């Protein structure tokens, strides 16, 4: 995908604290950055508090690394909902070097709508569905599984 396919984009420069002994960004930093982008999406797009009674929990995370990033490189993280199911939805995050104009990694995560008071999964609220569908530049698929063509287009391998 192109970064222009994402409406939710977080931009920053690689901080020194994310550099490891091999002098590039540590692989764990990509995960933290993607998690931060998802939280910003949840807060800014859905208007949901991260400390509310309902939210989401991560059920699966897959990260594919494509190139290293270095100290002070300009980074952009595009984040979008690629699929909406009954109780789960899938986030796609792409981490781009705006310095090199190249994708550095992409992350695919399955999130489950969750009620923190009852400690159980919930059906995704209709309000979330409406907001996500209206917001996304590329409409999310609906249902349990994406077809193979959509998964490949989104940079996600089928297992």
Helix (H, G, I), strand (E, B) or coil at 92: strand
76 assigned to some structural domain: yes
Q: How many domains does the chain have?
A: 1
* pTM (two decimals): 0.84
Question: Can you give the CATH number for the domain in which 132 is found?
Answer: 3.10.129.10
Instruction: Give the CA distances from residue 114 to residues 109, 117, 122, in Å, rounded to whole numbers and listed in that order.
Output: 15, 9, 5
Q: What is the pLDDT of residues 26-48, one digit of tens each?
A: 999 999 999 999 999 999 999 88
Classify residue 39: in a domain, yes or no. Answer: yes
Q: Is the pLDDT of residue 101 over 70?
A: yes
Report yes or no on 159 lying in a domain.
no
For residue 92, what are the domain limits?
Answer: 3-153
Please calculate the CA angle 53-118-92 and round it to the nearest 5 degrees.
60
For residue 158, being part of any structural domain is answered with: no
Residue with tokens 């008071």: 117
The pLDDT tens digits of the residues spanning 12-22 come to 999 999 999 99
């Amino acid at each position: 995908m192109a970064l222009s396919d994402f409406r939710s984009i977080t931009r920053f420069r690689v901080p020194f604290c994310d550099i490891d002994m091999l002098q590039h960004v540590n692989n764990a930093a990509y995960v933290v950055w993607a998690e931060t982008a998802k939280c910003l999406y949840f807060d800014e797009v859905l208007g949901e508090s991260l400390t509310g009674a309902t939210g989401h929990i991560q059920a699966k995370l897959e990260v594919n690394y494509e190139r290293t990033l270095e100290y002070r490189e300009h980074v952009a993280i595009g984040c979008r909902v690629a699929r909406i199911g009954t109780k789960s939805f899938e986030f796609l995050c792409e981490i781009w070097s705006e310095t090199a104009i190249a994708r550095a990694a992409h992350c695919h995560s399955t999130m489950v709508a969750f009620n923190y008071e009852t400690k159980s999964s919930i059906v995704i609220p209709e309000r979330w569905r409406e907001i996500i569908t209206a917001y996304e530049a590329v409409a999310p698929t609906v249902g349990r599984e994406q077809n193979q063509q959509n998964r490949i287009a989104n940079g996600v391998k089928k297992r």
